[in-house]
Structure 1
């Protein structure tokens, strides 16, 4: 049984995601399609536009057989760790293919360039260290190192850098996983404006919610977005910021062990918070060459969620299922005994102590998201996940 996986956010699920999914299935002829999807908080360190269940249902409606929730301690980290831990988990699902989007170049050129970079990793690390020593953030240092190594920046975009990290992780974890890079059409990942009648980036859709976005998304995904917006408020970042300020300034809970923490940020943050700025004002003041907006956002969430660095050392052995169809039960049978499958609350009795720590962290994040959108706090235990009785290709 050939298994295809795509690591995703689907925030929201749009026509570009549908194109990637359909093209990957056409190329691989895989029998099962799996999405490992970020939960209610995504890698930029922000709350998702719509909740994880709505996005998982949209994915199931549009070609996936199984949607698994990515633990937030993975999704709230840099591309390097995000990709490694994601593929580490997917490898336990015995996937055969990993598909992902790329920009600005064709698949062969991307693969050739990626293997060239990977095979010269020592040189790249040396260049990265040089730029880190010159007070650049890791993201900036890696960008400058790649630009210097490749002699230009045609290859370099946030989408391609993440894809490169997938390639690195595959080379370290299981070289039998075949990468399937697929060039984006109609729009690039960082496009802020809608330029095409059918395709747009998730960023541009989120920025233009009051505009004509219906034709940019599959019907089911658009309807789920509309329903969610009718029933819930947009995540309140000031409420999130109040929690952060209380924890750091009043409770004085240590932040040093939080994922994404860098030496000196605790004192720097406390100094900035003395004037009681708004969330956006604080972020503008906190960012620097070494600490990007995304890193600061991720640190705030990791701190609130008690995502300590020790989580990186846990080799967890379970999957939390968000949606699946009958075809996915073949995967469940194949991994039985290797991975615990959590579909309902009663399944957690099977989890080890370490696995339970990760699971409880995922529930904590869901409750935080519920607090930010004014939803009942126990939604993970009351919201029935979608199970399709038969496979339906749309």
Structure 2
């Protein structure tokens, strides 16, 4: 069986995602399709617009064969570590191809530039380190890449993440092949809905209380509208309250948390002590050095106690959210444990149990913020189509 994967957030799942899957299937005929999807929190450091279960169902409805939940400590990291953790897991699952969207460049040119950057990795790392003065890591990386390529068309969040996938595949000597597919119409950063109904996730989230129906497959739209009727969208002030309690009152140590940098705890304490709302806190704390997304990821990792040593864990399980008959053979992989129900926990190593428990804790944190029932990971059955 041949398999391709798309690393996703589907926040929410929209027509652009459907296009990416359809294009991948057209090229990789008869391959089993798998998505490694962020759970209830995404890489920007935000709670997902709706929870992982209806997002997984929407993905199956547009044609995926299996949806696997990304471990929470991978979801809440910068592009380099997000990519590396994802690729290591997909390599163990044994996928043949990784498909992803790119912007501004055709696939051949994108790959040529990506492999050139890999060849110049030492120069890239040196330049990035030099550029870190008064810049965020992301900005330092972007500037270094643009300088080495003498071309700023490569610089977009999607392209950089795609490059990190390729670099991780190269670093771990994986046999995974890559299939870049150029995005059509809307770019990832666009905030406006497009007339051709291929709009970015950001634009759809911005208009989630308005007229956005035609920009999503009908299954995805219905899932969002059903979520609205049953739950609340997560208010980030809820997480900010927890963060302030832990930082200012409990004085909980931050030094081993994913995303920590020396001195950032004291810096954030001073600001949090005087700011009542999350919006004012983020406005005051965001700098050239610390991006808003980095601060939000750190806040959530701090609340969830996601520690830096999790990156060293050898993860040997995957948590299934949905699957169909075509993908059942993936479950027979002798090198990995599949997690489909609570009883499967007994088969996991101690370190894998820690990672699983953190995923469940993150799900419960999302539940508290949205009025969803607790322990849905154990109460909701895996979707089988």
TM-score normalised by length of structure 1: 0.96
Deviates more, 1:151-160 or 1:377-386: 377-386
**Separation (CA, whole Å) in 1 of partners of 2:147 and 2:196:** 37
Report the aligned-residue RMSD: 1.0
- How far apart, in 2, do the equivalents of 1:381 and 1:94 lie? 27
- Tell me the equivalent position of 1:338: 335
Q: Which residue of the partner structure matches residue 368 of structure 1?
A: 365
Pair 1:225 & 2:212 matched: no
Cα distance in 2 between the residues matched to 1:233 and 1:379: 16
| TM-aligned CA deviation for residue 273 of structure 1 | 2.0
CA contact (8 A) 1:197 1:215 kept: no
Residue 64 of structure 2 is aligned to residue 64 of structure 1: yes
Alignment partner of 1:332: what SS?
Answer: helix
- Rounded to whole Å, the distance in 2 between the matches of 1:125 and 1:46 is 28
Say which SS state the counterpart of residue 302 (structure 1) adopts.
Answer: helix
Instruction: Identify the residue that residue 380 of structure 1 maps to in structure 2.
Output: 377
- Cα distance, 1:31 vs. partner? 2.4
Is 1:263–2:262 an aligned residue pair? yes
CA offset at residue 175 of structure 1? 4.4
Aligned length: 385
* Residue pair 2:91, 2:174 contacting (<8 A) in 1 also: no
Could you tell me whether the CA contact under 8 Å between 1:2 and 1:32 is conserved in 2?
yes
Question: How many Å apart are 1:276 and its aligned residue?
Answer: 4.0
Q: Where does residue 117 of structure 1 map in the other structure?
A: 117
SS at match of 1:155: coil
Give the drift of 1:185.
Answer: 0.7
Matches for 1:199-278 after TM superposition, within 5 Å = 199-278=198-277
- Residue 344 of structure 2 corresponds to 347
* 3-state DSSP of counterpart to 1:46: coil
1:149 matches 2:148: yes
Partner Cα distance (1:205, 1:351) in 2: 38
Q: Which digits, 9 at most, give the CA deviation of each residue in 1:305-333, with x for residues without a partner?
A: 00011111101100011111111111112
SS in 2 for 1:47: coil
Structure 2 equivalent of residue 43 of structure 1: 43
Structure 1 segments, 4+ long, off by >4 Å, are none
Partner of 1:178: 177
Q: Which runs of 5+ in 2 are unaligned?
A: none
CA distance in 2, matches of 1:129, 1:251: 35
Matched residue SS, 1:42: coil
Equivalent positions of 1:181-196 (< 5 A) are: 181-196=180-195
Q: 2:6, 2:20 → 1: CA distance? A: 9
